[in-house]
Amino acid sequence: MLGWSWYLKFFGTFQRLHGRAEYDGTGIGLSIARKIAWRHDGDITATATSGQGATFRLVFPVREAPPTELSGSSAGLPSLPPLRILFVDDEPLLRELVKDILEFEGHSVEVADGGQAGADAFRAAKKQDQPFDVVVTDLGMPRLDGRQLAQILKSESPSTPILMMTGWGALIKGEDLPTQVDGMLNKPPNIGELLEALRKVTQPRA
């Protein structure tokens, strides 16, 4: 069995058990996964034997799920019309997951893998007279981050709503919310919360 120092590396941020030349990766995947588990009162543990591999155990509490409705069928709420959405995030798996979910809900989704790619896609859509109804962007991205992207997009299209996702959402409140951003979401986003946020920023208040 591998010792305690190896166990800490499994879940440490930017910790890698192999060199980049052997395997691709950033060393944050398991750290993020464990934080997601903690958010749901669960945990991820691991055991490993050198040369044989590792076993990961996911533990979550059993709860009775409350009745929920994801789309616009909630009592008293208008249905959410199909939207053209630009989703900007540098994590490929999350991009594809959110794209699939939102398209299943009836929306048209274009994805971009970073801030500059997001700005380019936004401008191209405007040039083709097919502007996006809303932009959803990650906060922490290399080179051009979510704050900078939001500032650029709002300067070019002040009326376009922008939602920002971050794993630091609990630390960004009130006066800390970027002025160019219309709403903040935890990352990874809860689909119900994401749909409700889309409703709030794209539909006029009664």
Cα dihedral across residues 112, 87, 148, 158: positive or negative: positive
Task: Tell me whether residue 77 is in a domain.
Answer: no
Task: Tell me whether residue 64 is in a domain.
Answer: no
Task: Tell me whether residue 75 is in a domain.
Answer: no
Task: Tell me whether residue 67 is in a domain.
Answer: no
**Whole-number pLDDT of residue 6:** 63
What tokens were used for 21?
């030349």
Number of domains in the chain: 2
- Stretches where the chain sits below pLDDT 50 are 70-75, 169-171, 174-175, 205-206
Which domain covers residue 133, as residue numbers?
84-202
- Distance in angstroms (rounded) separating the CA atoms of residues 125 and 100: 20
Task: Tell me whether residue 137 is in a domain.
Answer: yes
Q: Which of 18, 42, 59 is the last residue of a domain?
A: 59
Same domain, 100 and 41: no
CB 65 within 8 A of CB 190: no
Same domain, 99 and 43: no
Same domain, 181 and 134: yes
Same domain, 187 and 107: yes
**Whole-number pLDDT of residue 179:** 75
Same domain, 29 and 114: no
- Distance in angstroms (rounded) separating the CA atoms of residues 32 and 12: 9
Same domain, 43 and 105: no
Task: Tell me whether residue 110 is in a domain.
Answer: yes
Same domain, 39 and 129: no
**Whole-number pLDDT of residue 31:** 75
178 phi, psi to nearest 5 deg: -55, 135
Task: Tell me whether residue 167 is in a domain.
Answer: yes
